[in-house]
Structure 1
Amino acid sequence: MSDIAINLVSKLTLIREHWSPRVIAEMNDVQFKLVKLQGDFVWHQHAETDEVFLVVAGEMQIGFRDREVTLRQGEMFVVPKGVEHITRAVQECHALIVEPRGVVNTGEAGGELTAGNDVWI
């Protein structure tokens, strides 16, 4: 157990690339990841797990085939497992993602935006 608080703003300064989640903490088998988003991600789903997005700074959208949810600073949303979605941000957005260890950011869609897994900062 660490006796040092995790400063999200400081950790975010260490992230240089968009769409590259970095682990900042772990609880049981659940990881807390910071990510910078800008532009459109890829349509994907996570068949085995829900995924939480909490906006730290900025604004992002989570698109579904039939609707879109906009999240602003301090807001969060849970994407249910198995639901196809896309994330996007017009301007750079900083978010915290909460999901089980081992989840690939692009699900089974793959592609050039697939980030390394279990990368800590």
Structure 2
Amino acid sequence: MLAVQNLLAAFERVTDYWSPKVIGKVNDQLLKVAKIKGELVWHAHDHEDELFHIVKGSLRIELEDAVVELREGDMLTIPKGVRHNPVADEECWILLIEPASTKHTGDEVTPLTRSIEEQLS
């Protein structure tokens, strides 16, 4: 039986900023929801692209040579290997789509870094 899921209701599982929760899977891509506020960390995913979809609020993604402003409804794919730093001045809700192999903060480890086990909980 197929299960219908409500994207907005999925955010109820998220209790901490920068702590994505896996809500589904499409082939080898994980669908993750996260609430974010403040700054994460400069990082890259050497082998995986990462899609950001803004569900609520706005997000600034700092790149080494540019800054991209995303608003509610916008999507952006960060190509593999591109260093980036997500920043949200106010609470922002995002849907991430990325391969299951993607490390939360790439090779950077900070107190905000979450393991895949934490994201699956």
Q: Same fold (TM over 0.5)?
A: yes
- Counterparts in 2 of 1:92-111, with a 5 A limit? 92-111=91-110
Give the aligned partner of residue 90 of structure 1. 89
Give the aligned partner of residue 34 of structure 2. 35
Pair 1:120 & 2:120 matched: yes
- Counterparts in 2 of 1:53-72, with a 5 A limit? 53-72=52-71
Unmatched 5+ stretches in structure 2? none
Aligned equivalents of 2:107, 2:21: Cα separation in 1? 19
Aligned equivalents of 1:33, 1:14: Cα separation in 2? 11
User: Over residues 59-83 of structure 1, what are the superposed CA-to-partner deviations in whole Å (9 max), with x where a residue is unaligned?
Assistant: 0011001111011111000001000
Identity score, percent: 36
1:21 counterpart letter in structure 2: P
2:57 counterpart letter in structure 1: G
User: Over residues 30-79 of structure 1, what are the superposed CA-to-partner deviations in whole Å (9 max), with x where a residue is unaligned?
Assistant: 10000111000100000001100000000001100111101111100000
1:62 counterpart letter in structure 2: I
Verify the 8 A CA contact 2:13 2:21 in the aligned structure 1. no
Unmatched 5+ stretches in structure 1? none
Verify the 8 A CA contact 1:20 1:116 in the aligned structure 2. no
Aligned structure 1 segments of 4 or more residues deviating by more than 6 angstroms: none
Give the aligned partner of residue 8 of structure 2. 9
The structure carrying a bigger helix percent of its residues is 2
TM-score (norm 2): 0.94
1:81 counterpart letter in structure 2: K
Match of 2:36, SS?
A: strand
TM-score (norm 1): 0.94
